[in-house]
Structure 1
Amino acid sequence: MNDKPLSGRKAQAARNDKLILEAAREVFVADPEAPIAEVAKLAGVGISALYRRYPSKEDLLRKLCGDGLARYTELVREALESEGDLWGAFREFLRKVVVADTPSITVRLAGTFTPTSDMFEAAVAADELNRALLARVKDAGVLREDVENGDLALVTESVSSISLGDAERTRELRLRALELYLEALRAPGAGPLPSSAPSEEEMGARWVPKQAK
């Protein structure tokens, strides 16, 4: 493994990129219509430095969503490969998703840019891991049988909509709300769920840019 430190210029570029992505997440999750100049301002970098890294707002949005999807995939794979207490692993998986706040990116940014084919492929791969995790937890008899893939998305996205007080208080309240959902998700459940879970088509349609609908 190469642990050679980055040169001064490369290190600065890496720091700038981190600042840009952190600022972009804050700005666009709050207001998807915000101009890219707001990101540069919050990040404390020049607009030219931002454009050198991300030539357009769409490029920046794709990077944010791609990173969020990669993090989600990492978490679901970790849960799928866990041994021992499967309900504990499932619970910890959802808690980590809430803390990472990847659902907020989906809720706020879906439909605001055109995803690449690579992003769709990554989403399909994450979806397959999700289904494998659900099947494994159901087989263990700890997740109610009528819970489907789309239900998990609705749960995490609903929890991500909570925003009260400062960041720490919001995180606490989101995790508290998640525990209430977990009680409803656990087998055997108190009777069948009404209607049906959202379909792949319903969930995927959100990613079609609004101007293309």
Structure 2
Amino acid sequence: MPKQTETAAQPRLPGRKAQAARNDGLILDAARAVFLDDPTAPIAAVAERAGVGISALYRRYPSKEVLLRTLCHEGLRRFNAEADAALEDSDGWRGFAGFLERVVEADVHSLTVKLAGAFTPDDSMLPDVVHSGEAVAELVRRAHASGRLRADFDAQDVGLLLEACAAVTMPDPVRTAELRQRVLALLIDGMTAEGDLPGPPPAVGEFAWRWQRRP
């Protein structure tokens, strides 16, 4: 039998670290479900849904604010990962439209809509915030260069599209996902239409007010 090389070997986390990683995934999944349903819910509701002890949750997330910040930061990282993947596409329009479809499917914008103002963002999020703005601006630039995207569509309009899709909610999550993609398809068709859009696009930073901590 040939000797296995070190590069081929699959490293495994030690038992306690593996369990901690599993718990962390359970906690974040539970937090997303709990806080999207009710941003005012207590952190104990997250522990109960995740099936972990409250002490285990507090060891990882010492406060609800830290948990909310982590949850939104994870959503931002997912957004950036989809944007970066779209930038790998040589077709500017296909990359842009595919990015929108995947971000709506991942439902990362619901975190912004529901949780903005529930915690105070810190400097650790700033590089990813900057990166998201730059990546979206480049995707929109490439979509314009393709000749498919209407000339008066601005990079800041992407937020409006995602807000519109996130606003669609139904009791059945499968139906919610279907209707959001339907709305997005209609909006994408509108992005290729001729004519003038009413009013100016959102200004850079115009939505930043929502991240101010609510009393």
TM-score range, shorter chain: over 0.9
Give me the CA root mean square deviation: 1.3
- Is 1:202 the counterpart of 2:209 in the alignment? no
Deviation digits for residues 25-67 of structure 1, max 9, x if unmatched? Answer: 0111111111101100100111100000000011101111111
- Is 1:48 the counterpart of 2:55 in the alignment? yes
* Separation in 1, partners of 2:195, 2:11: 59
Structure-to-structure mapping, 1:1-213, within 5 angstroms: 3-83=10-90, 85-186=91-192, 189-211=193-215
TM-score between the two structures when normalised by the length of structure 1: 0.93
* Separation in 2, partners of 1:117, 1:157: 25
What runs of 5+ residues in structure 2 fail to find an aligned partner? 1-6
| Matched pairs, number | 208
* Separation in 2, partners of 1:46, 1:23: 13
Deviation digits for residues 42-98 of structure 1, max 9, x if unmatched? Answer: 001111000000000111011111111111011111112211x33222211111001
More helix by share: 1
Using the aligned pairs only, state the percent identity.
48
* Separation in 2, partners of 1:164, 1:112: 24
* Mapped contact 1:150–1:203 kept (Cα < 8 A): no
Match of 2:152, SS state, is coil
Match of 2:159, SS state, is helix
* Separation in 2, partners of 1:123, 1:20: 24
Larger of the two Rg values belongs to structure: 2
* Separation in 2, partners of 1:53, 1:147: 42
What runs of 5+ residues in structure 1 fail to find an aligned partner? none
TM-score between the two structures when normalised by the length of structure 2: 0.92
1:6 Cα deviation after fit: 1.6
